[in-house]
Amino acid sequence: MEETIAWDRIEAILRKGYPVGQKKEGNKAYNPLLLFKCFRLQKWFHLSSDPELEYSINDRESFQTF
């Protein structure tokens, strides 16, 4: 999947509309590409909630690698 999808191009698009994390105040923001990939996993595997997604990421090595 890493060779098939141009993640750098997707990340560039995401960063245009993601102003979070560009200031020095507050907590460090998550990378928008990481959030996008999490969203994709949630949709592809029909995970119904964010806690279920979090559990799956912590439980599956394939999710962590992605």
- Token pair 């907590």 is found at 27
Residue 60 counted as domain residue? yes
Give the total number of structural domains in the chain: 1
Contact in structure between 56 and 63 (CB atoms under 8 Å): yes
Please give the residue that has the higher pLDDT: either 25 or 40.
40
Domain assignment present for 25: no
Is 2 contained in some domain?
no
pLDDT at 21: 65
Does 23 fall in a domain?
A: no
Q: Which structural domain range is residue 39 located in?
A: 7-17+30-65
Residue 36 lies in a domain: yes
- pLDDT, residue 22, reads 66
Q: State residue 2's pLDDT score.
A: 74
Structural domain includes residue 40: yes
